Amino acid sequence: MLLRRLREYARFLKSFLKTGIRLLWGMWKLTKLPQPAITIFGSAKVLSSNEICQQARRLAKALAGADFSIITGGGPGIMNAANQGAIDHLKEKHLEEFLQGKEIITAGVGLIRLTKETENPFVQEHIEMEHFFARKWLLIRYSVGFVIFPGGFGTMDELFEIITLVQCNRMARVPIILIGKSYWGPFIEWIEHYTLKEGFIMPHDLSIITIVDQIEQAVEIIMKECKGLTQSTLHNESGSHE
């Protein structure tokens, strides 16, 4: 019995130390990103030709042009499009350096990905994570705003993680913008009809998120509420951040 418990403890300790080292390395890389930073979430299964991907690309390019760093999960689909949009801006801004093959010091793209997830070719910082909880922590920890495009269970998980942190005062109130009223509208209606009606959430909880259709609306909100913010500023305001 004792031997079995010791073996289990040793396996956990090995995993804990490995994850801790990866988190420290991820923190080191992400802290060099110029602040403020915005994290963009969305489906990994959307083709690059899809209008949703085109929107993500335009959004990231516009935000990078406004001096926001872009953080994504580093995979395909929406993540690929967002990373590409940030690179589009950097190529225009630093065209000569790109043509000469020089490294751009002011990185505009952060990357966290799972080891089994396909890496997209538009990332500048490669941070490899094995566990979802560690990946989500890094995706959330260094951002002052979040944009969520349509996606599946993984995107939903990331969205609810952020909403819960804000609701429970574990994170400062920051913009959480959902793109696509036709996609997210029924989801909000369900929350209003069942979750809110049953008293599981309060009416003001719904104000945590904002749904828009136009990329320009998302950019306007982020520019208004996030420009000049940094994560250290949020820490000082909220006193806590998971």
Local confidence pLDDT in tens for the 242 residues of the chain: 888 888 898 998 988 898 888 888 888 888 888 888 999 999 999 998 899 999 999 999 999 988 898 999 888 899 999 989 988 888 777 665 555 554 443 333 445 555 555 667 887 777 777 778 888 888 898 899 999 999 999 999 999 999 999 999 888 889 999 999 999 999 999 999 999 999 999 999 999 999 999 999 999 999 998 877 666 666 555 445 55
User: H or E element: which one contains 163?
Assistant: helix 153-167
Tokens of 43: 């489906």
Angle between helices 51-65 and 215-226 (to 10 degrees): 30
Half-sphere exposure of residue 163: CA atoms within 13 angstroms, side-chain side: 19
CATH of the domain at 72: 3.40.50.450
Nearest to 215 by CA among 97, 71, 38: 38
Torsion of CA 176, 179, 183, 184, to 10 degrees: 20
Q: Are 25 and 137 in contact (CB under 8 A)?
A: no
| Domain region containing 175 | 2-238
- Residue 104: the pLDDT is 42
Residues 6+ apart with CB under 8 A from 110: 29, 30, 33, 37, 69, 70, 71, 72, 124, 125, 127, 142
pTM value? 0.85
Q: Are 242 and 170 in contact (CB under 8 A)?
A: yes
Nearest to 109 by CA among 57, 157, 153: 57
Quote the CA–CA distance of 69 and 143 in Å, as a whole number: 9
Let me know if 133 is exposed, middle or buried by CB neighbors in 10 A (0-12, 13-18, 19+).
exposed
What residues are paired with 109 via a beta bridge? 70
How many other CB atoms are there within 10 angstroms of residue 191's CB atom?
16
Quote the CA–CA distance of 57 and 51 in Å, as a whole number: 10
If phi > 0 it is left, if psi is from -120 to 50 it is alpha, else beta; for residue 239 that is: left
Q: How many domains does the chain have?
A: 1
